[in-house]
Structure 1
Amino acid sequence: MYTVVQADDLKREGSRTAVFQGSEHGSGVSFFSVDSDPGQGPELHKHPYSETWLVLEGEALITADGEEILAGPGTIVVVGPDTAHKFHNAGTGRLRIVCIHASPTFVNEMLPAGE
């Protein structure tokens, strides 16, 4: 068995980010294929599973467990379950990053900015 999905079919109207929820496609992982402008990124949150990022283009400032990591193309960063984290486009151009969730469904817990 296999499934083929076009990334453009996973983008919400007006967004350049593809959202792949594994359970909808017979997969044990989910991911965001993010394409964002400078300054954009999610707020502080955590998941009950690990998350892995692969930076494809641009520069991401990732905050994980209170530490900041500047990540450029080819950098892979992994955070463990229940680790508070966020990232944003810290560069002057587009950020292309894949955010892989070790779960067939997304489970997000948003956190106050100071945690």
Structure 2
Amino acid sequence: MFRIVRHQEPQPDQSRTVRFEGRDYGGEISLFIVDNEPGQGPGLHVHPYSETWAVRKGEAEFTVGETTTRAFPGDIVVVAANVPHRFENVGMGRLEIVCIHASDTIVQEFL
């Protein structure tokens, strides 16, 4: 069996980020498909599982624990469970990034 979740264009006042939780579809992972403007990104937070990011377009600055680094298209960044982290679009254009959560539901605690 399989499921297809069709893309829906957001309204002008809605976020372009897509949230997918696997438990709703029989999947074992969850994810965000992020589409951010320069300067946008989530605040510092943690998860009780690892998170993996795949940068598709743009330039992101990641803060992971005490370390800050930049990632570019094609880069993959992984953070262990319970490590505080965040990212921000530091490029001139849009940031497209996939945030893969090793859980069938997204559990996120902002710090």
Unaligned runs of 5+ in 2: none
Partner of 1:25: 25
On the 8 A contact 1:34/1:97 being kept in 2, the answer is yes
SS in 1 for 2:38: coil
Q: Structure 1 runs of 4+ off > 6 angstroms?
A: none
Matched, 1:89 2:52: no
1:49 maps to 2:40:
no
Root-mean-square deviation over aligned CA pairs: 1.4
Instruction: Give the paired residue count.
Output: 110
Q: Does 1:39 align with 2:73?
A: no
Q: What CA distance in whole angstroms lies between the structure 1 residues aligned with 2:8 and 2:93?
A: 21
Give aligned-pair identity as a percent.
51
CA distance in 2, matches of 1:56, 1:62: 15
TM-score by length of 1: 0.91
1:3 Cα deviation (Å)?
0.8
The one-letter amino acid paired with 1:14 is Q
1:5-20 pair list within 5 angstroms: 5-8=5-8, 14-20=14-20
